[in-house]
Amino acid sequence: MSSAIRSSIRFLLNDQTVELSGFAPDLTVLDWLRIERRLTGTKEGCAEGDCGACTVLVGRMIDGMLTYESVNACIRFVGSLDATHVVTIEYLNRPDGELAPVQQAMVDLHGSQCGFCTPGIVASLQALWLSDPEPGVKDVERALQGNLCRCTGYEPIVRAALAASKIEPDEDNDRLVRAREETARKLIELADGARVEIDHPEGKTFIPASADDLAEIYEANPKATLVAGSTDVGLWVTKGMRAIAPVIFVGHLTDLQTIEETEEGLKIGAGVSYSMARGAILSQVPQLAELWDRLGGEQVRNMGTIGGNIANGSPIGDTPPPLIALGATLTLRKGSARRTLPLEDFFIAYGKQDRAGGEFVESVTVPAVPEDAHFAVYKISKRRDEDISALCAAFLIELDSDSHVATARIAFGGMAGTPKRATHVEECLIGARWGWTAVQAAQAELENDYSPLTDWRASADYRMRVAQNLLTRFFLETSGAPARLDTSEPLMMEAGE
């Protein structure tokens, strides 16, 4: 580790370099922008990452490339901004002050009504525009998943996004493109490899220099809160009013952001965001595509990490069920000691994980789907997008040459206090001929595996019934059943089609 310790963070805000010290560990980016900097174009609609009115862009170096991502300023902490470029709505117009293509299209096509969600929507669409030269309706929908519009002008907004995509970003129409090289140079310069420690009456903020440094700090401060994407911890603060200090930020640690192909499978660093992992994981497990694109909204996927989703231990986290079914393993680190365990063993009980004080999730290794195996994952939620799962189911089975079930790994979220395997169902299926009779028998076994609870997302009966029906659907799909409502083409079709 580096011996240098800084007592301030440094980052870019629009066209300025900012140096900040002495801030609270739970100071949100949104409060800082609106109250301290009086940059009030960015709005607060919910303060919990649901509505997207607070969306700003954060640029960071990913694999040597300056990449701008949409994020929720309301649940992101200022302490996570070191060596990034924060871009707000006030800075998205063209260098000559005229409206940028996305903004102009939003005006021309009537994508703004009351206008309160508009800055966030412009920011989300700007991120899409910068990164995707030819988005289809589905891509636009994905980019907008985390933005609510209560005037419900969605159709004009989609049209605006498609219209803007006809104009390529260039140095004349976009400030970020114009300053790209200089910005990248500055960000590299700002990331000087020093540890940062910020003191504040509410508690201390640590920004480790590296994963090794993290191990050291965490071992010395085992009560600290680790903050990666803050898509959950953010709500502890804004909604739960919890004190979280001391805080160790880990989202910037590039040595936790590696994705490696190993003999055991794809080894994903705990700090890899859903967005960063998307390409690699979907090329290895294409069946995860629908789930991956329905995790939160784009802002949440840009911030949230797979490691955080696991370490958090939520019974309704969306990645554990498929990862358990795939046989993923987890590597934990404490100091310099590491241990690896099957992911399913990590979840002990509701709110309780197999993680010692000062120990953190370092990586998760996801084996490939065995050749000829059937694998599927289903997220069931009330709302099509941006909704917490009522339940999440993952099925993996391998058949022998005689169409008998050789292996079965089945896991559910939302059916118990933890993400959990359906061992009775698995036992019932193994050795049986993969057919309707076996499926029916296995469905009955679900009741031995789970006693789900009733809440406002779903009743216990519904959860059980759907869990059973999902097994039916999985069976039908292995026998060539047609598409699902959620994966069928977008209901909105391409303009001019």
Partner 1 sequence: MSEQMSPERMSPETQTTFPRHVRHGSNSGQPVSRRDGRLKVTGAATYAADNHPEGLLHAVIATSTIARGRVRSLDVEAAKAHPGVVEVITPANRMPLHHDPNEKMPPFGFRVEVLQDDTVRYVNQPIAVVVAETLEAATEGVRLLAPRYEEEDARTGLDNGLRHEAQSVGVGAPGTVSFGDLDAGLKGAARVTEGDYSTPPQYHNAMEPHAVVAEWDGDTVTIDMPNQALRMSAASYAAYFGIPAENVLIRSPFLGGGFGSKAILNGPQILGILAARQLGRPVKLVLTRAQMYGPVGHRGRTWQKLRLGTGDDGKLTALHHHSIGATSSFDDFVEPAANASLMLYESPAIRVEHEGLRLDIGTPGPMRAPGEASGSASLEIAMDEAAEACGMDPLAFRLANYAETQPGTGKPFSSKALRECYEQGAAAFGWAGRPLEAGTMRDENGFLVGWGMGTAVFPCPQFPAEARATLRADGTALVETGGADMGQGAWTALAQLAAESLGLDLDKVEFHSGRSDLPDGGVAGGSGHTASAGQALSNAGGDVIARLTELATGDPDSPLFGAGNIGVVAAEGRLHRRDDETRSQSYADILARAGQKELVGTGKSGRDPASAEAFAMHSHGAVFAEVKIDPNLMQVRVSRLVGAFAAGRIINPKLVRSQYYGGMIWGISFALQEEAVADRRTGRIMNADLAEYHVPVNADVPRMEAILVPEEDPRVSPLGIKGVGEIGVTGTVGAIANAVWHATGIRVRNYPIRIEDLLRRR
Positions in 383-402 near partner 1 (CB under 8 A): 383-388
Amino acid at 164: A
Of 144 and 408, which CB lies nearer to partner 1 in the complex structure? Answer: 144
The alpha-helical segments, DSSP class H, found in 28-179 are 29-31, 101-108, 118-131, 137-144, 154-164, 175-178
For partner 1, the binding residue among 221, 284, 469, 478 (CB under 8 A) is: 469
SS3 208: coil
**Interaction of residue 309 with partner 1, rule CB under 8 A:** no
SS3 218: helix
Distance of alpha carbon 272 from the chain centroid: 9
Phi, psi of 161 (to 5 degrees): -65, -40
For partner 1, the binding residue among 25, 79, 135, 153 (CB under 8 A) is: 153
Of 40 and 423, which CB lies nearer to partner 1 in the complex structure? Answer: 40
Amino acid at 287: Q
Of 122 and 429, which CB lies nearer to partner 1 in the complex structure? Answer: 122
> Using the 8-state DSSP alphabet, how is residue 132 labeled?
-
From 150-158, 179-187, 283-291, 409-417, give the range in contact with partner 1 by CB under 8 A: 150-158
Residues 398-457 close enough to bind partner 1 by CB under 8 A: 455-457
Burial class (CB in 10 A: 0-12, 13-18, 19+), 102: buried
Nearest to 343 by CA among 358, 321, 368, 376: 321
The alpha-helical segments, DSSP class H, found in 137-253 are 137-144, 154-164, 175-178, 180-190, 211-220, 233-238
Residues 89-118 close enough to bind partner 1 by CB under 8 A: 89-90, 92-93, 99, 102-104, 106-108, 110, 112-118
Residues 41-70 close enough to bind partner 1 by CB under 8 A: 41-48, 50-51, 53
**Interaction of residue 303 with partner 1, rule CB under 8 A:** no
Residues 70-89 close enough to bind partner 1 by CB under 8 A: 88-89
Residues 23-42 close enough to bind partner 1 by CB under 8 A: 24, 31, 34-35, 38-42
The pattern of x and - marking residues 234 through 273 that bind partner 1 according to CB under 8 A reads -----x-x--------------------------------
d(C-alpha 294, C-alpha 448), whole Å: 29
Question: How many residues of this chain bind partner 1 (CB under 8 A)?
Answer: 95
For partner 1, the binding residue among 25, 156, 234, 313 (CB under 8 A) is: 156
**Interaction of residue 290 with partner 1, rule CB under 8 A:** no
With contact defined as beta carbons under 8 Å apart, do 22 and 9 qualify? no
Of 182 and 456, which CB lies nearer to partner 1 in the complex structure? Answer: 456
Which whole-number Å values give the CA distances from 1 to 62, 79, 208, 245, 252, in the listed order?
21, 20, 9, 23, 15
**Interaction of residue 171 with partner 1, rule CB under 8 A:** no
Q: How far is the CB of 464 from partner 1 (least distance, A)?
A: 11
Q: How far is the CB of 396 from partner 1 (least distance, A)?
A: 20
Residue-by-residue DSSP string for 388-454:
--SEEEEEEEEE-TTSBEEEEEEEEESSSSS-EE-HHHHHHHTTSBSSHHHHHHHHHHHHHH--PPP
Q: How far is the CB of 160 from partner 1 (least distance, A)?
A: 9
**Interaction of residue 158 with partner 1, rule CB under 8 A:** yes
